[in-house]
Amino acid sequence: MPRVAPVHVCSACGHETTRWAGQCPGCGEWNTLVEESRALPSARRGSARGRSAAVSPVPLGAVAAEGHRRLSTGVGELDTVLGGGLVPGALVLIGGAPGIGKSTLTTMALANLEAAGRRTLYVSAEESAAQIRLRAERLAGDAALKIPVIAETALETVCATLERERPEVCVIDSVQTLHSAELTGAPGSVGQVRDVAGEVMRVAKQLGIAVLLVGHVTKDGALAGPRVLEHLVDCVLQFEGERERTYRTVRAVKNRFGSTNEVAVFEMRDDGLVEVLDASARFVAEATRAPGSVVLCSMEGSRPLLVEVQALVSRSELVAPRRVVSGLDRNRVALVLAVLGRHAGIGLGASDVFVNVVGGVRVEEPGVDLAVALAVASAARGVPLIGGGAGAGGVDGGGRAGGAGGVPLACFGELGLTGELRTVAHPDRRLGEAAKFGLGSVVEPTSCPTLAAALASAFGRGRAAVPASSEPRPTPHAGLQTTGRFDSV
């Protein structure tokens, strides 16, 4: 019987050490080391390893290139994020908050594959087969009820079923609830998750099975389990969104067979997830056109997307004013506020600032800087920013935004620390998407090289769009100090 020695493994990064410590030596996280039992290698194994024969290297030019025959899931948005579909033998890890729609999306994909004549299998380690049937009945069509399903938590049973049934696509929901009887520790522990994923990967690669692993996330939104789990799989998909909102986004964090710049947008309904092929039309139509609202021409991978950025500036009752940000990087917003105070004369040191991306969308690109600056300046001055383009009348048959207050102002650009505007990727696609919805001229780095020029252009259009007989422009509150740098516009 092999000797067993205790090993402490970090649940965050997978670092191993023989002694317990409060802080992981590998990643610096606190209270993440978990004790496991590990069998010591025998002396015979060590001597055999020393006599292993060497392998001759092969030049890359002599290696035969393999073409990947992808399997379409029938969900166009999901296929786009995957790079064209599922690759046989690939492991795809899907992570997201509880109740966001991971099981619904995987069930829809298996239903479409089953309808196309592919062999599928659904392995449920959390729910019973009856619960999965209830979810499948909500989906349109009868193909979802034809998906073969097993409710099993033992890794050995799952692998034996895969070797016997040999499906083309398999869903394991979830990888944290599978366990092996040969390993110590509870299901979901570092050792269990690592070895379970390794054994599933071995079977999938050997039999050419595309496996979709559903994973849990921590309270911070990161995938639960050791980092080695993300290194083992071929593709990592992050399911984002808020359960209180209908929109969901799926983006690839890692993809060995495609790009990591693509994003899929879905809408949750009673009958499952519905692809949102033109999300810009919905976001632009819902734009408020009120002070503090602008439309950002953003890029989600290779796809242009128009989203509304809103800001609210109010007098603070606290010594340290609040900075509340939703859908953006909080440090990025703090940088924009500092540049506004230094190069535009908009001091917000005594004001609470709230910035939000409408619709639950998260924007992580630098082109959002100008939208945040214009939205905050508009909220602070109480002046709506109106763009040129389609006239009044709401949204026309082509999806173009209008309305009694004119069309919302569109913009994009990265903000430098010295007050200049820098160009961002794919400006032509951004401008084309804005013109598609009749947003007219766009405030962007080519036409406005500095922040002061962008503010002058935006507020010039905003004041011209407000008739003289309308309500007077609100006076900036006591928490807003202006130096007159662009106040004369």
Q: Where are the domains of the chain?
A: 1-42, 76-277, 280-467+474-482
Total residues found in the chain within this entry = 489
- Residue range 51-70, pLDDT digits in tens: 667 888 999 888 887 767 89
What is the three-state SS of 104-158? HHHHHHHHHHHHCCCCEEEEECCCCHHHHHHHHHHCCCCHHHHCCEEECCEHHHH
Two tokens, residue 358: 């409408």
Is the model's pLDDT at 191 over the cut of 90? Answer: no
Two tokens, residue 438: 């009749």
Two tokens, residue 295: 């439309």
Residues sharing a CB contact under 8 Å with residue 91, sequence separation 6 or more, in sequence order: 197, 200, 201, 204, 211, 213, 232, 233, 234, 235
Distance of alpha carbon 140 from alpha carbon 145, whole angstroms = 10
- β-pairing verdict for 247-255 and 263-269: antiparallel
Least confident of 37-41, 201-205, 245-249, 307-311: 37-41
- Looking at residue 103, its pLDDT comes to 92
- Residue range 250-303, pLDDT digits in tens: 989 899 998 887 888 898 888 889 998 888 888 888 888 899 999 999 998 778
| pTM, two decimal places | 0.73
Report which of 278, 279, 280, 290 is spatially closest to residue 406, judged by C-alpha positions. 290
- Looking at residue 476, its pLDDT comes to 43
Residues sharing a CB contact under 8 Å with residue 401, sequence separation 6 or more, in sequence order: 284, 285, 287, 390, 394, 395, 407, 408, 437, 438, 439
- Residue range 426-461, pLDDT digits in tens: 999 999 999 988 887 899 999 999 999 999 999 986
Distance of alpha carbon 286 from alpha carbon 359, whole angstroms = 10
Residue 295 CB-half CA count within 13 A: 33
For the chain, give the percent of residues with pLDDT over 70.
84
- β-pairing verdict for 120-124 and 149-151: parallel
- Looking at residue 277, its pLDDT comes to 82
Two tokens, residue 186: 């509870």
Q: With cut-offs at 50, 70 and 90, classify the pLDDT of residue 404.
A: very low
CB atoms within 10 A of CB 48: 10
Cα distances (Å, whole numbers) of residue 461 to 141, 159, 458: 51, 65, 5
Q: With cut-offs at 50, 70 and 90, classify the pLDDT of residue 27.
A: confident
Report which of 69, 142, 76, 152 is spatially closest to residue 111, judged by C-alpha positions. 142
Residues sharing a CB contact under 8 Å with residue 21, sequence separation 6 or more, in sequence order: 8, 33
Residues sharing a CB contact under 8 Å with residue 420, sequence separation 6 or more, in sequence order: 449, 450, 451
- Residue range 209-251, pLDDT digits in tens: 999 999 887 766 667 666 678 888 999 999 887 766 778 889 8
Q: With cut-offs at 50, 70 and 90, classify the pLDDT of residue 4.
A: low
CATH class of the 280-467+474-482 domain in this structure: alpha beta
Distance of alpha carbon 439 from alpha carbon 132, whole angstroms = 45
Q: With cut-offs at 50, 70 and 90, classify the pLDDT of residue 380.
A: very high
Task: Name the superfamily (CATH) of residues 76-277.
Answer: P-loop containing nucleotide triphosphate hydrolases (3.40.50.300)
Q: With cut-offs at 50, 70 and 90, classify the pLDDT of residue 352.
A: very high
- Looking at residue 186, its pLDDT comes to 77
User: Alpha-carbon torsion 385, 391, 392, 398, what sign?
Assistant: negative
What's the chain's average pLDDT? 83
Q: Is omega for the bond preceding 280 within 30 degrees of 0, making it cis?
A: no
